[in-house]
């Protein structure tokens, strides 16, 4: 949880990371502090592309992973995301 760290702490964590995984959101912007990073962005029902574009510009490896919305029927970008653990595990094994 990067929000629990100072800006300097966040930068240091990201610079020393090989990859970051997170749901679509502003926290993925921290990828700007790293080089040669693998980024996995998790989506629910709403898919948006700005972090793919940012990762591409910087030269990071980017993968989108689709989960499903926890509350079916309502399309809401702020809804919780349900992830199939086996599918996510398989993705991580493919990335390593």
Global pTM value: 0.84
Phi then psi for 42, rounded to 5 degrees? -100, 130
H or E stretch covering 39: strand 38-43
pLDDT tens for the chain, 96 residues long, are 788 999 999 999 999 999 999 988 888 999 999 999 999 999 887 777 889 999 999 999 999 998 888 877 767 667 788 899 999 999 998 865
CA angle 87, 81, 20 (to 5 degrees): 65
């Amino acid at each position: 949880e990067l929000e629990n760290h100072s800006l300097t702490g966040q930068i240091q964590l990201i610079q020393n990371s090989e990859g970051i995984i997170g749901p679509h959101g502003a926290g993925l912007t921290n990828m700007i502090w790293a080089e040669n990073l693998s980024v996995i962005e998790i989506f629910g029902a709403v898919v948006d592309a700005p972090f793919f574009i940012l990762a591409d510009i910087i030269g990071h490896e980017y993968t989108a992973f689709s989960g499903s919305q926890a509350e079916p029927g309502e399309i809401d970008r702020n809804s919780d995301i349900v992830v199939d653990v086996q599918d996510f595990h398989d993705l991580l094994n493919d990335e390593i």
